[in-house]
Amino acid sequence: MMTTVSGAIVRRGGISRTVFIISLVAVAAISGVTGYVIQGILHPAPATITLNGAGSTFVNPIITAVNANYTKTNPSIQINYQSIGSGAGITALGQRTIDFGASDAPLTNTQILATPNALTIPDTIGAVVVAYYIPINATYSIHKGLHLNVTVTAQIFQGGITYWNDPSIVALNQNSLPSGVSLPHNLITVVHRFDSSGTTFVFTGYLSSSPVWIGGQSKQPKSTAWAPGALAPNGNQGVASVIQTVSNTIGYVELNYALSATPPIPYASLWNPNGSGSYVEPTLSSSGLAASSLPSLPAGSGNWTSINLLNSSNPGAYPVVTFSYIMVYQELNVYGSAMNQARAQALVNYLWFVVHDGQNQATILSFVALPSTVVGNAEASIRSIAYNGQTLHT
């Protein structure tokens, strides 16, 4: 309440900001924490912003590492990434319940219509491996040496080849297995993804290069495309777990999931027919060779459906390599009141980190760091992101 005395305004029942601070200083000085109290009053900690992303399990190992490193230097920005599969991530982006989606498959024409003005930004390059568990006896299983080509692989996954010692597999492995080891007469169990998956899209794209494959290229082929009795978990992590624990299984996972398992999961070398022809082991080096001859990339706002890194003409390249992408809206006003200037700026700053400093995590985790030309493409996309009609990159 205020009363007027001799022309002066007197405040009653309150305390001025100055007196309040002086009082706290006096109290804090006694306890020796004056500086912390004053800093907390005059310079309160910035509010935490949480950016939400979802999608690809393929990219989860590297995006988890990138996010941890980003938060170390930007503690007021938290990244909540849900590894739920590429299809679910793009659906969530279309529903505008997340700030960015991640997928190893480009947006389809239908998805482009459902996410108008979405940008496609490459974030890494990685390999899909054909992983297996072949026990020879109670104490020994094949840990290395299996050779496959695309036609035999396609026949296995759709059920045309059902035993490890099928003549077609034996013919490819006469000189590849350890001395004294032969393929057993064990029934093969195929493992594929149940969920809508960018990894499946890439792998079935590879299988489609053989005329025997009947399933086409798809993130979620019909169940009849796969071998009878196939197991179908969700996520790269689900496929890796099944192969590691169930005998006589074969499936497909991103390379890091095989390497980081305990013990590591064996995987096949695949035939590359280019040059003199050879079986190529999936490694960081052979994956990098697949990315050495890049196709011409469209703008981030363009159509990426024709872009892939499968079956590189480089004779030393592993044949099942892919980009992974982040998808984000170019105009962030589409989120309405759920978006504001600070959040929009934080998202753009994070994306810039992903395609620059974030690439330092790639080789550690057996992903391929983006070539400079791809980084340039991503930079142009990020610079085009706007909020209230104003671009955000500085």
Strands 249-254 and 189-190: parallel
What count of residues does the chain have? 394
Please choose, from the candidates 373, 375, 371, the residue with its C-alpha nearest in 3D space to the C-alpha of residue 356: 375
pLDDT at 183: 95
The number of angstroms, rounded, from the C-alpha of 368 to the middle of its chain's C-alpha atoms is: 12
Phi-psi region of 331 (alpha: psi -120 to 50; beta: other; left: phi over 0): beta
pLDDT at 39: 52
How far, in Å, are 1, 130, 225 from residue 5 at the CA level?
A: 13, 88, 90
pLDDT at 31: 46
Write out residues in the chain with pLDDT < 50, as ranges. Answer: 1-37
pLDDT at 27: 41
**What are 216-222's contacts with CB under 8 Å, separation 24+?**
219/86, 219/87, 219/105, 220/87, 220/193, 220/195, 220/196
pLDDT at 138: 75
Please answer whether residues 387 and 344 qualify as being in contact, where contact means their C-beta atoms are separated by less than 8 angstroms.
Answer: yes
Degrees to nearest 5, angle at CA 252 with 249 and 254: 135
pLDDT at 178: 85
HEC states along 298-312? Answer: CCCCCCCCCCCCCCC
Which amino acid would we find at residue 241?
S
**Residue 243: CB partners within 8 Å, gap ≥ 6?**
131, 132, 133, 191, 249, 250, 251, 253, 265
Residue with token string 């190992």: 61
**Residue 281: CB partners within 8 Å, gap ≥ 6?**
269, 318
pLDDT at 42: 54
pLDDT at 7: 39
Please choose, from the candidates 190, 152, 142, the residue with its C-alpha nearest in 3D space to the C-alpha of residue 270: 152
pLDDT at 137: 82
Domains in the chain and their CATH numbers?
49-125+324-391 (3.40.190.10), 127-290 (3.40.190.10)
* Direct distance between the N- and C-terminal alpha carbons of the chain, in angstroms, rounded to an integer: 48
